């Protein structure tokens, strides 16, 4: 790219009333990340700096998300042009608007850097368009602004649906909302936008007619309707999630992961699946998961904040919580929950275990039903299981505690003090067996019944 300076303004002052939520709309997540974060990522990747987010008043949580990028506050919601104008001081104090100003909506999470780059490229067109508009042809043009072109197909103006004539509403090419504006004229154009229209708002879309009136060209880049779908409601949020999941699944498969039933696998925006990983049906990846080449995630598992190394296998029905590392060729099996746990190379935790704040050493074997008792109601404690150790089934390891390398713990033990390397520890009631005792018991009970 050239040495042009690109900035971006992301509009996020909307209350999102139709979400019926106590939280600002743009903080609702898609693929484990707030809507706004997806848009900010795209703006960053498109080369914009600064990226200014325009919030409403009292939206500290939105500002925290945007940080360290600057924010501006639009105190009254008077329209999209008014919202961009609210970013003026923030842009000026971060080096000015630059050559190209991208305007994005914070509730449109599917926009891609490639589309932004296409718009920036169009801004460099021979006729030096002052405004580049991202157009699209939705199945139902409904409430979208319509792009009015002249006989030669050049963009003349944008008409909002409430202000359109019946003929204008039949126009199929609509305004997707994203614009790229010449930074040298942006604020001059904005200063001239008025609110004499059906909604009494300052429309950003008026920039096109104003620029044309100044003798400048304007251009349209046609985009994909999927990328432009905005979120206004819970149903819209679910639709955006579905579209994002399709995209993430396709990318994972293109990268060499096998998804047996991709439509049942849910990925986070940052999920990393290596080559030749196999992900069976009905797996959910929360944020922060990496799966290295050649690992397997069996069906019905849920992973979050976890790393799975090459050759390792987890599930079916495994629950890996944040801070989990499953190292090379290790195995975390059925109905096992882990949290801040390292399962070292070749170790096996195959069934019905909770391993929290724990290390399971290389090639150790943890029997079914083993529980690390990591919380005593006041403090968390850690558990260390040494390399090659064997923990018998149904053992409670009361942390802080350690079991040394190659030690053996008998089944059903409650281990409260450290077990040295190579030791055998058994901590359970001793078994008492009385020969013939069951027969005597039955005879006594029968005699009592006969007396009644």
Q: Residues 41, 61, 70, 78: which binds ligand UD1 (CB under 6 A)?
A: 78
Strands 383-385 and 365-366: unpaired
DSSP state of 419: B
Q: Report the residue number, 189 or 279, with the smaller CB distance to ligand UD1.
A: 189
Least separation in angstroms between residue 15's CB and Mg ion is 12
Using CB under 6 A, which residues numbered 155 to 194 contact ligand UD1? 158, 160, 174-177
With CB under 5 to 8 Å by kind, the binding choice for 107 among ligand UD1, Mg ion, none is ligand UD1
Residues 6+ apart with CB under 8 A from 92: none
Q: Which is nearer to ligand UD1, 225 or 421 (CB)?
A: 225
SS (H, E, C) 265-333: CECCCCCEECCCCEECCCCEECCCCEECCCCEECCCCEECCEEECCCCEECCCEEECCCEEECCCCEEE
Total residues binding ligand UD1 (CB under 6 A): 27
Min separation Cβ 175 and Mg ion, Å: 10
State in angstroms the smallest separation of the CB of 138 from ligand UD1.
Answer: 9
In the bound state with ligand UD1, the residue whose beta carbon lies nearer, of 97 and 177, is 177
Kindly tell me which of 230 and 361 has the beta carbon lying closer to Mg ion: 230
282 as an active site residue: the answer is: no
- CA torsion 195→201→202→207, rounded to 10°? -90
Contact window for ligand UD1 (CB under 6 A) among 7-15, 88-96, 273-281, 438-446: 7-15
Q: Does 46 bind ligand UD1 (CB under 6 A)?
A: no
Positions of E strands within 150-235: 155-159, 174-182, 218-222
Cα(95)–Cα(215) distance, integer angstroms = 28
Q: Is 230 in the site for ligand UD1 (CB under 6 A)?
A: yes
The answer to whether the peptide bond before residue 60 is cis (omega within 30 degrees of 0) is no
Task: Collect contacts of 194-199 with beta carbons under 8 A, ≥24 apart.
Answer: 195/78, 195/79, 197/160, 197/162, 197/163, 198/160, 198/162, 198/163, 199/79, 199/160, 199/162
- CA 117 to the chain's CA centroid: 23
Residue 354 near which of ligand UD1, Mg ion, none (CB within 5-8 Å, type-dependent): none
What minimum distance in Å lies between the beta carbon of 141 and ligand UD1?
9
Q: Which residue number, 14 or 46, has a Cβ lying nearer to ligand UD1?
A: 14
Of the ranges 95-103, 224-232, 248-256, 341-349, which one interacts with Mg ion (CB under 5 A)?
A: 224-232
Give the residue with the Cβ less far from ligand UD1, 109 or 388.
109
**366 dihedral zone (left: phi>0; alpha: psi -120 to 50; beta):** beta
Whether the CB-CB separation of 313 and 299 falls below 8 Å is answered with no
When the beta carbons of 205 and 372 are compared against ligand UD1, the nearer one is: 205
Interface with Mg ion: number of residues (CB under 5 A): 1
Q: Which of residues 278-307 bind ligand UD1 (CB under 6 A)?
A: none
Tokens of 94: 């971060």
37, 47, 100, 107: residue in contact with ligand UD1 (rule CB under 6 A): 107
Site for ligand UD1 in 117-156 (CB under 6 A): 144-145
Q: Which of residues 226-245 bind Mg ion (CB under 5 A)?
A: 230
Would you count residue 106 as binding ligand UD1 (CB under 6 A)?
yes
Mark residue 265 as left, alpha or beta (left: phi above 0; alpha: psi -120 to 50; beta: remaining): beta
Task: Strands of 217-257 (E only): list them.
Answer: 218-222
Torsion of CA 48, 52, 53, 57, to 10 degrees: 180
**Of residues 82, 307, 321, 325, which one binds ligand UD1 by CB under 6 A?**
82
Question: Is the preceding omega at residue 293 within 30 degrees of 0, hence cis?
Answer: no
Indicate the residue whose CB is closest to Mg ion: 230
Residue 254 dihedral angles phi and psi, to the nearest 5°: -60, -30
Ramachandran assignment for 121, one of left (phi > 0), alpha (psi -120 to 50 degrees), beta (any other)? alpha
User: Does the protein bind ligand UD1 through residue 13 (CB under 6 A)?
Assistant: yes
Q: Is 77 in the site for ligand UD1 (CB under 6 A)?
A: yes
**How many whole angstroms separate alpha carbon 379 and alpha carbon 358?**
14
Least CB distance to ligand UD1 at residue 90 (A)? 14
Active-site residue identified among 23, 282, 302, 351: 351
Residues contributing to the site for ligand UD1 (CB under 6 A): 11-14, 54, 74, 77-80, 82-83, 105-107, 144-145, 158, 160, 174-177, 203-205, 230
Residues with catalytic roles: 351
Residues contributing to the site for Mg ion (CB under 5 A): 230
């Amino acid at each position: 790219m050239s040495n042009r300076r690109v900035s971006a303004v992301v509009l996020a002052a909307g209350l999102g009333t139709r979400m019926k939520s106590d939280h600002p709309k743009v903080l609702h997540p898609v693929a484990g990340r707030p809507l706004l974060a997806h848009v900010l990522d795209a703006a960053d990747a498109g080369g914009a700096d600064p990226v200014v987010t325009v919030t409403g008043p009292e939206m500290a949580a939105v500002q925290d998300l945007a940080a360290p990028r600057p924010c501006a506050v639009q105190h009254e919601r008077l329209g999209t042009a008014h919202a961009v104008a609210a970013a003026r001081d923030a842009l000026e104090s971060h080096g000015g608007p630059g050559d190209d100003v991208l305007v994005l909506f914070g509730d449109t999470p599917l926009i891609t850097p490639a589309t932004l780059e296409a718009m920036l490229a169009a801004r460099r067109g021979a006729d030096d368009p002052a405004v580049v508009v991202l157009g699209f042809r939705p199945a139902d043009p409904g409430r979208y602004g319509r792009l009015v072109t002249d006989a030669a197909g050049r963009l003349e103006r944008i008409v909002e649906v409430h202000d359109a004539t019946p003929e204008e509403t039949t126009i199929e090419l609509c305004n997707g909302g994203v614009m790229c504006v010449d930074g040298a004229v942006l604020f001059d154009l904005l200063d001239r936008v008025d609110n004499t229209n059906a909604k009494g708002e300052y429309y950003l879309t008026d920039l096109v007619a104003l620029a044309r009136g100044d003798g400048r060209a304007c251009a349209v880049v046609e985009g994909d309707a999927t990328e432009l779908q905005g979120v206004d409601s819970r149903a819209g949020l679910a639709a955006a999630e579905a579209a994002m999941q399709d995209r993430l699944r396709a990318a994972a498969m293109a990268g060499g992961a096998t998804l047996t039933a991709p439509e049942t696998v849910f990925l986070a925006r940052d999920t990393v699946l290596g080559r030749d990983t196999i992900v069976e049906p009905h797996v959910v990846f929360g944020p922060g998961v990496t799966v290295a080449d050649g690992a397997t995630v069996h069906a019905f598992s849920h992973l979050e904040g976890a790393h799975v190394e090459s050759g390792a296998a987890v599930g079916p029905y495994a629950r890996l919580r944040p801070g989990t590392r499953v190292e090379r060729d290790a195995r975390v099996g059925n109905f096992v929950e882990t949290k801040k746990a390292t399962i070292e190379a070749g170790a096996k935790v195959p069934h019905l275990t909770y391993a929290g704040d724990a290390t399971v050493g290389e090639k150790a074997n943890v029997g079914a039903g083993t529980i690390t008792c990591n919380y005593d109601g006041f403090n968390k404690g850690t558990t260390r299981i040494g390399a090659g150790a064997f923990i018998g089934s149904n053992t409670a390891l009361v942390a802080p505690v350690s079991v040394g390398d190659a030690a053996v713990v008998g089944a059903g033990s409650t281990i409260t003090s450290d077990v040295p390397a190579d030791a055998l520890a058994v901590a359970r009631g001793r078994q008492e067996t009385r020969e013939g005792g069951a027969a005597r018991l039955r005879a006594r009970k029968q005699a009592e019944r006969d007396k009644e």
